[in-house]
Amino acid sequence: MAGYTHTAFLGIGDEYILWSIAAVVIGGTSLTGGSGGYLGTITGAIILVLLESMLTVLRIPEAGRRIANGAIILVLISIYYSQKNKKYNL
């Protein structure tokens, strides 16, 4: 970011933190550590980019896009953890 904007300050990448973590979790990496991989993270990032592009093409306002993104992230994460819990019979 600093190289792209030619400036540097403490909070320069703050807006990308949530999306980075969301892409990793959607890709199947456990937040508690252990399992995960590059391919899943790339898949999670592609899902988020496609979602954002689709909502932009549909001319959904910024507030609506944020709500939709958050809802889809919550759904995907809950599906992932419910599958994980079924796998380990928790």
User: What is the C-alpha to C-alpha distance for residues 63 and 75, in angstroms, rounded to an integer?
Assistant: 18
Judge whether 79 lies within some domain. yes
Provide the domain count of the chain: 1
Q: Is residue 7 part of a domain?
A: no
Work out the percent of the chain whose per-residue pLDDT is above 70: 88
Domain assignment present for 40:
yes
Q: Is residue 39 assigned to a domain? A: yes
- Place 87 in a pLDDT band, splitting at 50, 70 and 90: low
47-83 residue pLDDT tens:
889 988 998 899 989 888 888 878 877 887 787 777 7
Range of the domain at 58: 18-87
Domain assignment present for residue 67? The answer is: yes
In a domain, 53, yes or no: yes
pTM more than 0.85: no
Q: 54 lies in a domain?
A: yes
